[in-house]
Structure 1
């Protein structure tokens, strides 16, 4: 029971109404499948606990980034338990990525700085995990697997930069943020069909932290069974190829769409 004059703690349902508004989880490009599947059910309870602490949304975002970068360092270590630890750290990253926005919406502390830090955290995490995976796959440091890991990390950063630079270009031209409709509209029907086919394969997700940490864990189990690093090395090569293809195809997709006006 709250003492006299103490504001009662809001319920989880009350926070959910504000922090996870209707339609928020159904955003086509804004919500990760893992968030919808299980993490949002957990994060809203963590957000509820955080409402009575002095922790700010931006502080959560900093911790989120540290967890993601730490996963990159951990995955670089040998052994199955390193892969398990990295996967768990990425789950912490995902949890905080959900909770920082929820806490910001509940407290009314949404800000451009928060959006910026969230993007920086995503950049750092993807790059760190790919570099760490390349390091893990290397027999002699550095070797070609180290190079491929760094190349994949560079590709992942470029893909995100290509997306973000659309809004930069539109802002410089006095236009508002690109709509989802403009993303789906192509000047060529053949290119639009090609994009839909590639999107259906979901191959682009191989370099994203959540999927990559899970694949790295599976590869570590296979490596343990085989007694070598073949599975991890195959994964690194696949990531490098996927990142290179996405960098080119994503740029073509942007130029061929109506996102730039």
Structure 2
């Protein structure tokens, strides 16, 4: 059995220069704390002989389980979902780190990673909708499904840029290409990036807000806060689908 690398050796290879500075590619939670912890987990996964794609599969399961956990009423279900989302984030960091250390990078791994993000964020929004509906097929469950569809469409709008460029024989999109050509739209995009309201439908941020809503509900003895949150996620998802599409069409991403 080969000797396991030290944490310092692991970091030197799996955290290439610029990784933590990628504002568009690295989540704030990764930069803040998870990338500091993930090499320790990656070392354990390396000792266990797991492959990067197996970790990605576990990541998908953790994300889906977080959505299911929201069906458990009250604060315990919300806390469990938030913890599972943190596990999802850890595995999302470690699968790439393991791939870089072992050299087992693949197109399949990239594909599974994207599928995992689609499924996990949609699952959390669907779970939130049914949680607000308190197990009954009410309008809140429909709103949760609508928010999940919106989250998937937003990701599809981003990924389809790469599809369109690849089919046209063009290189991958750059940060400069994402800037809208019209000055007014460019300013509005920058305002949106500052306000970051779209983060409400992302798994990590949403899981934390769900816990806060569950605390409020526990004090009130009802589901008012969770139901307000479901409505907010549906509105944000719907607005963001339109704004993101306009941003893509108005930028140089398809030029």
2:253 matched residue in structure 1 = 259
1:205 matched residue in structure 2 = 199
Task: Tell me how far 1:64 sits from its aligned partner.
Answer: 0.3
1:194 matched residue in structure 2 = 188
Match status 1:145 vs 2:175: no
Matches of 1:122 and 1:20, distance apart in 2: 21
Task: Tell me how far 1:9 sits from its aligned partner.
Answer: 2.2
CA offsets per residue over residues 167-201 of structure 1, 9 Å max, x none?
000011110110111112x2210010011111110
2:49 is paired with a residue whose SS is coil
Matches of 1:195 and 1:83, distance apart in 2: 32
CA RMSD, aligned part only? 0.9
Matches of 2:120 and 2:161, distance apart in 1: 22
Equivalent positions of 1:78-227 (< 5 A) are: 78-139=73-134, 141-184=136-179, 186-227=180-221
1:21 matched residue in structure 2 = 16
Match status 1:10 vs 2:33: no
Q: TM-score when scaled to structure 1?
A: 0.96
Task: Tell me how far 1:224 sits from its aligned partner.
Answer: 0.2
1:46 matched residue in structure 2 = 41
Matches of 1:76 and 1:172, distance apart in 2: 42
Matches of 1:246 and 1:24, distance apart in 2: 27
1:3 matched residue in structure 2 = none
Match status 1:250 vs 2:247: no
Who wins on radius of gyration, i.e. which is larger? Answer: 1
CA offsets per residue over residues 6-29 of structure 1, 9 Å max, x none?
643211110101101111111121
1:10 is paired with a residue whose SS is coil
Q: TM-score when scaled to structure 2?
A: 0.98
Give 4+ residue runs of structure 1 displaced > 6 Å after superposition.
none
2:171 is paired with a residue whose SS is coil
Question: Runs of 5+ in structure 1 lacking a partner?
Answer: 1-5
Matches of 2:45 and 2:167, distance apart in 1: 38
